[in-house]
Amino acid sequence: MEKSIPPRVDPRPFLPLTHLAYHILLSLAEAPAHGYALVQRIRERSGGLVDPGTGSFYSIIKKLSDDDLIAETETEDGDGRRRWYAIAPLGKIVLAAEAERLAAQLAATRKLRLAPSGRGGGR
């Protein structure tokens, strides 16, 4: 059962997200998954630059769950040994707010001509 969230929830207390928390929420926004599948998605999406260690990964999973950003869900593979996770409504709000924060940082970097403009890949 999804928890309801207040209509005007302020995501700022959760920001900035750690890079791994951001990757986890982004991966769960794509589809619910169990831990191993999440780690594989994160490795793939980051081109191997983010390779979550088991200890840090599950610590962040616990924190995201405790903060109601993700929730355990029913297994999709019928294997009760694996815990499956899904992004919670609050997690979607926080993920969107973090994406806006990162976009503002990227815009500031582009203004200084230190990052590609995003228009054809040139600077």
Q: Hey, what CATH topology would domain 15-111 get?
A: Arc Repressor Mutant, subunit A (1.10.10)
The alpha carbon dihedral of 60, 63, 67, 70 has a sign of: positive
How far apart CA 31 and CA 25 sit, in angstroms, is 10
- Residue-level pLDDT at 4: 62
- Residue-level pLDDT at 90: 96
Residue 81: C-alpha distances to residues 22, 67, 92, 99, 112 (Å):
26, 24, 27, 33, 50
pLDDT tens digit sequence for 57-92: 999 999 999 999 999 998 666 667 789 999 999 999
- Residue-level pLDDT at 123: 45
Confidence class of residue 6 from pLDDT cuts 50, 70 and 90? low
pTM of the model: 0.85
Residue 23: C-alpha distances to residues 32, 94, 117 (Å):
13, 12, 23
What are the boundaries of each domain within the chain? 15-111
Residue 103: C-alpha distances to residues 14, 58, 78, 99, 108 (Å):
17, 27, 39, 6, 9
- Structure-model confidence comparison of residues 40 and 122, the more confident one: 40
